[in-house]
């Protein structure tokens, strides 16, 4: 829908002033705010002045256009002059004539919601400007536009002096607005400076606390690593005395006495395992653990683990199976630390698997120069919500075997730190009721920081 408001011919300087005045009046009658009134009037004035200066005449037509339910004030400006020869360069902002026309066009375009300029040498220029109605403006109808036209006809434009006074008032209003904005920016700047000072103080406090925590952690690690002998000696004495009593070296024991001594021995063994894990963690954190990399066959390591861990099964209905790797598959790494990781994985699998199988496999990771050794069980499994912290220190998952199976929550964190030392990583996949897979991935060829180690003798894939 299009509703025509007014058409003005441009033939003199007074017509340029009149076009600006009419643009402002129409903007007021359409319900535009003061700022938009000034924007519309300024944009029309700039383009109409160019029409007068370069084409020596033309026309301006005001109308209301509606599209998709949205009304806009449209101003069409046309002339039959020489056209704008470097229009694309002007609109790109890379051209400015000696009269400053390029800057004027760019500034006027930014004041409107739409500015379409079409021009060709010798064919004149056609400009379409649009400004969308504000949300609180009344919806213009044909009758309202007719009343607007009658009002504009009855009120002739002010003199040149009146227009200058009006522009001065607009300028003063703009200056007041800029001053208010400047004061707001200064206030925001002061607030930001205060916030920056507070953030700096906070960072300083955080740095201080972090340094304090680091020193405390180092002191804890040094204390635990230096207390190895003091921790283990009394435990060894208690364990030796308990075994001595159970051997009847000092005489017979009653059934109740034997039961109590066995409790002492079991508690000592469990406490000794916890102390070993705790001390190993402390030594790693204190940097007192070295990697002794040597070549060894994976099959030999599996054979040793099989002999050590099968007795733990006892009369259990669980089968412990080591899938034999290729006969020549070898690693250059620390066999003791890698075996310690696997012992933890397998002993955990034995604890939490009531029936089925525990399988240990080794496989190369294609194209990575890594080997992954996995321990798969058919045990309780671990819920997805617990996967995130299963390798965190002192973290234990609640399960129905807790009354029978005890743990410290240190074994898996120790495995993670040992794998880091070897240049690898650990991980797990598990589904409650369907078992778990714990794996460790280590380089085939361990390389200490700052140096490379020689390649292992064979790297065949396992059968």
Q: Give 362: exposed, middle or buried? Use CB within 10 Å, 0-12, 13-18, 19+.
A: buried
Q: What is the pLDDT of residue 434?
A: 85
Fold held by 294-443: Heat Shock Protein 90 (3.30.565)
Integer CA distances (angstroms), 158 to 15, 50, 149, 180, 423, in order: 11, 22, 17, 31, 86
Average pLDDT over residues 284-310: 85
* β-pair partners for 10: 58
Q: What is the pLDDT of residue 93?
A: 73
Contact call for residues 74 and 65 (beta carbons, < 8 A): yes
**Fold matches, 2-157 and 294-443:** yes
Q: What angle is formed at CA 296 by the lines to CA 294 and CA 298, rounded to 5 degrees? A: 140
- The Cβ of residue 461 has, within 10 Å, a number of other Cβ atoms equal to 10
Class of domain 2-157: alpha beta
What pTM did the predictor assign? 0.47
Top pLDDT among 460 and 121 is at 121
Q: What is the pLDDT of residues 29-47, one digit of tens each?
A: 999 988 888 889 888 988 8
Average pLDDT over residues 173-193: 81
Say what percent of the chain tops pLDDT 70. 82
Average pLDDT over residues 363-371: 90
- Residue 164 clears pLDDT 60, i.e. is over it: no
Buried b (16+ CB within 10 A) or exposed e, 281-295: bbbbbbeebeeebeb
Q: What is the pLDDT of residues 200-226, one digit of tens each?
A: 888 988 988 888 888 877 776 667 666
Top pLDDT among 175 and 198 is at 198
Integer CA distances (angstroms), 281 to 286, 395, 449, in order: 9, 15, 21
Domain residue ranges in the chain: 2-157, 228-285, 294-443
Q: What is the pLDDT of residues 101-144, one digit of tens each?
A: 566 788 888 889 999 999 888 788 999 999 999 888 888 999 99
């Amino acid at each position: 829908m299009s509703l025509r408001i007014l058409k003005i011919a441009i033939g003199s300087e007074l017509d340029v002033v009149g076009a600006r005045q009419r643009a402002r009046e129409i903007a007021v009658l359409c319900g535009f705010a003061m700022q938009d009134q000034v924007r519309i009037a300024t944009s029309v004035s700039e383009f109409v002045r160019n029409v007068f200066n370069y084409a020596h005449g033309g026309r301006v037509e005001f109308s209301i256009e509606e599209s998709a339910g949205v009304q806009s004030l449209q101003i069409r400006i046309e002339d039959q002059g020489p056209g704008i020869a470097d229009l694309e360069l002007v609109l790109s902002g890379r051209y400015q004539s000696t009269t400053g026309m390029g800057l004027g066009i760019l500034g006027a375009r930014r004041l409107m919601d739409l500015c379409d300029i079409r021009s060709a040498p010798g064919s004149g220029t056609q400009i379409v400007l649009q400004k969308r109605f504000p949300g609180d403006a009344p919806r213009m109808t044909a009758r309202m536009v007719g009343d607007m036209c009658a009002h504009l006809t009855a009120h002739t434009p002010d003199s040149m002096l009146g227009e200058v006074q009006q522009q001065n008032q607009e300028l003063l209003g703009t200056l007041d607005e800029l001053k208010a904005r400047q004061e707001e920016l200064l206030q925001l700047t002061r607030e930001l400076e205060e916030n920056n000072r507070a953030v700096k103080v906070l960072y300083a406090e955080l740095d201080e606390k972090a340094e304090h925590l680091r020193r405390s952690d180092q002191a804890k690690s040094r204390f635990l690593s230096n207390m190895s002998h003091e921790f283990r000696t009394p435990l060894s004495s208690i364990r030796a005395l308990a075994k001595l009593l159970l051997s009847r070296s000092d005489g017979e024991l009653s059934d109740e006495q034997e039961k109590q001594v066995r409790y002492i021995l079991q508690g000592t063994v469990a406490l000794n395992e916890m102390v070993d894990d705790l001390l190993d963690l402390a030594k790693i954190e204190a940097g007192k653990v070295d990697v002794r990399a040597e070549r060894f066959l994976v099959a030999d390591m599996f054979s040793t683990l099989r002999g050590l861990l099968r007795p733990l099964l006892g009369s259990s209905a669980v089968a412990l199976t080591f899938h034999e790797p290729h006969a020549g598959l070898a690693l250059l790494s620390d066999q003791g630390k890698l075996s310690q990781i696997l012992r933890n994985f397998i002993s955990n699998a034995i604890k939490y698997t009531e029936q089925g199988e525990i399988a240990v496999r080794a496989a190369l990771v294609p194209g990575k120069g890594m080997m992954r050794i996995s321990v798969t069980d058919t045990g309780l499994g671990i819920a997805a919500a617990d996967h995130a912290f299963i390798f965190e220190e002192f973290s234990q998952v609640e399960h129905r075997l807790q009354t029978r199976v005890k743990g410290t929550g240190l074994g898996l964190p120790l495995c993670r730190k040992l794998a880091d030392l070897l240049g690898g990583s650990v991980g797990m996949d598990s589904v409650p009721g369907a078992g778990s897979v714990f794996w460790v991935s280590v380089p085939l060829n361990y390389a200490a920081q700052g140096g490379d180690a020689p390649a292992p003798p064979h790297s065949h894939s396992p059968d």
